[in-house]
Structure 1
């Protein structure tokens, strides 16, 4: 795992030249400051939404080239190919079937930007094909699929970065450093909230014919067969259990991961207390929840989660955020700022810590992508490997399962990968794939 791509290609250079490998490297790389042996060719699976934004961050790095793009919607695929041609001067191959893309030999890494229910198949197949992977969060749409993906990355010895980019951002990494250095004293509790209008679901729509150019059966993939409805498709699929987990698995994974990161010994939750419901009076088309309150008791400290879809206000005048509450002060953080609010020392008549405020942060996708590319070249572990993504996903999936089965208290045994107190919950750990798709199995040993 420590050998660089440069060394690997140097060792196999004569063979590679013999089969014409270097003839398919884009011509622009020869004028680049990055050696041809350290060029990284990436491909994108799922290019309608955020996946394409992540591709842009890749292409903004020197020595990174896009050689292929895949989507089941020809309309989206055609538009994205043109954008790469026009904006980056590259000409990636177009695919509607990800399996054919993975057969393309010059691809080093794959960006998985597909809906959550596809993550497991896309990631495992990419690892099996010898590609490194950047996969959007949550790691997968179920607990069982997360386990399989962790096994796949280990078995195939691939670099896998989960798109929990807050781990690369200063407005969260600095508070974590402050907590670990004892600047706010003992951490007693972490309050997390997420309030967004879109979390209440989409405006109802009738089922309709499949749009021209869309392979809807392929889009469904391992999920159950359903009639086409635009609210189950582009943009709002995450409000349906077959494909996503609502606001909880969208923002919850990001923010709850910060609570996990603050632990001295990060771990999956063992006890989860959940209230989950739909309380908005707006008529919406959804299966997931718009309102949740969740407690995660731990020996170190308790994490508390609150969520309201259809609401944009929140504590500290923030629609979302994390409050790390320590004995000496509280750090309130979001993606662009953090503030240290000191506790008052009555005896000394002074704050227990010096107040701080930082407001110049920005989204950290670019830093997260750079970490991934650096790790492809060095073969070092990225900042958010699948093991980390798996734990964060459990903090979202377990409360969702609790709400779905109407059992507010769930005990999770992470060593056995099952719930201790609920057969109904255990039945939702791993999905049943629709034929002909099969749940991946990773070889042992």
Structure 2
């Protein structure tokens, strides 16, 4: 197989990086009407004040012409560090609020950055779109297929920018991987393996108790079913179906989205089968410790293996994400392997980049990356001004999130294969699974059928 010309490839990657960083339509997203000029001040509200929120506040507030007016969290003890940091870099200090609707009602606010637990993502996004606010929402964008589609409908109806925190889509290495695969140099793609084999610990249930001082537990639950306060649900919501969807909805969603982009964003798979269980720790958590999923796309297959007890496998370290070092692929916990008829590609998220190998492990082509937040956050801010659709638009993010939801639903209905009608986003011949497409929302926290 003829190797790609390195000079041409570097030039192409550089051009892609420039287009991605400036929000140009390198990914083919349609533009919508301009509503702000490039020099306008951007006023943001931060919804949720946890760890990831701190990163967004720090990164976006340091971009030209950007400030946060509000920091919102239902727990008054959260966000002190964020408030302090913003107070140092902004001309005016942000206001601390507990109800996001205060920010949504403020006409000065252009956009919200949503970094709440996942069960709040969809409703907060719909509310924001209805209030004519643009949105940056963290991954995973939804906890169900139905509400993810409502996020798309709200974004389109109200002509809002909705960027999702799948930041690999802003990395030049992701664009170059997509271009390389599209060139046919791997041959015909026949199989893909996505890995999410992480370290972890045994999940231990916690007793119900009184909520900590300053926490509005009812507001934290929001759309989710009403239950007594439980520190396990509050501080470690990942293993519960009502709030997230486990390790698959956390780290694995990044690899699944990056894989879809690299493959040219294929439509929904035709079927899914997920088997799994609490194999390592025999815990009683709802979402299983380990899951093995097979997706059938018709002309290729894809598997995803996700778990939390393989500590000898590691995520890509800092010297890989932020430097020039390549990973040791076989022990990389979050690698992707793309198999063509002529060669295979190792693909890594969060700046790792990719390498193409042939017989004997010989590397014939490669493109090293860098952690993509430095492109993803500016892309969102730029799109607020240009009104171009962002690199991680809600439509493709929703389709990537569906891979998580499809797998979890297959597991929940007895680890059975499910046939999926992608056009309708419903299952054929399985009403039990169809009943789980939409969560049961609490009164006052419901997403309407017509957003």
Match of 2:134 in 1: 132
Asked if the contact 2:32–2:159 (Cα under 8 Å) also holds between the matched residues in 1, the reply is no
Task: State the 1:82 CA deviation.
Answer: 2.5
Asked if the contact 1:331–1:339 (Cα under 8 Å) also holds between the matched residues in 2, the reply is yes
Is 1:92 equivalent to 2:107 in the alignment? no
Task: State the 1:182 CA deviation.
Answer: 1.8
Asked if the contact 2:178–2:264 (Cα under 8 Å) also holds between the matched residues in 1, the reply is no
Match of 1:25 in 2: none
Is 1:340 equivalent to 2:355 in the alignment? yes
Is the partner of 1:394 in helix, strand or coil? helix
User: Structure 2 CA distance, aligned partners of 1:252 and 1:68?
Assistant: 31
Alignment of 1:281-300 (within 5 A): 281=281, 283=283, 286-300=285-299
Structure 2 residue corresponding to 1:356, chosen from 355, 359, 365: 365
- Provide, for residues 6-51 of structure 1, a one-character-per-residue CA deviation record: whole Å limited to 9, x for no partner: 45xxxxxxxxxxxxxxxxxxxxxxxxxx73xx22111111111212
Is the partner of 2:63 in helix, strand or coil? coil
Is 1:173 equivalent to 2:203 in the alignment? no
Task: State the 1:421 CA deviation.
Answer: 2.1
Identify the range of structure 1 (328-337 vs 429-438) with the bigger mean alpha-carbon deviation.
328-337
Structure 2 residue corresponding to 1:329, chosen from 340, 343, 348: 343
> With CA pairs under 8 Å and 6+ residues apart, which has the higher RCO, 1 or 2?
2
Match of 1:301 in 2: 300
User: Structure 2 CA distance, aligned partners of 1:81 and 1:262?
Assistant: 38
User: Structure 1 CA distance, aligned partners of 2:177 and 2:154?
Assistant: 33
Asked if the contact 1:327–1:343 (Cα under 8 Å) also holds between the matched residues in 2, the reply is no
Task: State the 1:301 CA deviation.
Answer: 1.7
Task: State the 1:259 CA deviation.
Answer: 2.6
Match of 2:416 in 1: 408
TM-score, structure 1 normalization: 0.86
Task: State the 1:78 CA deviation.
Answer: 3.8
Match of 2:212 in 1: 211
Is 1:240 equivalent to 2:240 in the alignment? yes
Match of 2:13 in 1: none
User: Structure 1 CA distance, aligned partners of 2:274 and 2:267?
Assistant: 19
- Provide, for residues 218-264 of structure 1, a one-character-per-residue CA deviation record: whole Å limited to 9, x for no partner: 10111111122222113x21211110000111122211122322334
Task: State the 1:206 CA deviation.
Answer: 2.4
Match of 1:436 in 2: 444
User: Structure 2 CA distance, aligned partners of 1:179 and 1:338?
Assistant: 14
Q: Select the structure of larger CA radius of gyration.
A: 1
User: Structure 2 CA distance, aligned partners of 1:265 and 1:255?
Assistant: 13
Task: State the 1:87 CA deviation.
Answer: 4.8
Is the partner of 2:175 in helix, strand or coil? helix
Match of 2:107 in 1: 105
Q: Give the unaligned 5+ runs of structure 2.
A: 1-30, 314-328
- Provide, for residues 333-359 of structure 1, a one-character-per-residue CA deviation record: whole Å limited to 9, x for no partner: 213324434324xxxxx99x8623455
Match of 2:26 in 1: none
User: Structure 1 CA distance, aligned partners of 2:304 and 2:387?
Assistant: 36
Is the partner of 2:78 in helix, strand or coil? helix
Asked if the contact 2:178–2:263 (Cα under 8 Å) also holds between the matched residues in 1, the reply is no
Q: Which runs of 4+ in 1 moved over 4 A?
A: none
Match of 2:118 in 1: 116
Is the partner of 2:135 in helix, strand or coil? strand
CA RMSD of aligned residues (A): 2.1
Asked if the contact 1:260–1:392 (Cα under 8 Å) also holds between the matched residues in 2, the reply is yes
Match of 1:20 in 2: none
TM-score, structure 2 normalization: 0.84
Task: State the 1:90 CA deviation.
Answer: 3.7
Asked if the contact 1:69–1:92 (Cα under 8 Å) also holds between the matched residues in 2, the reply is yes
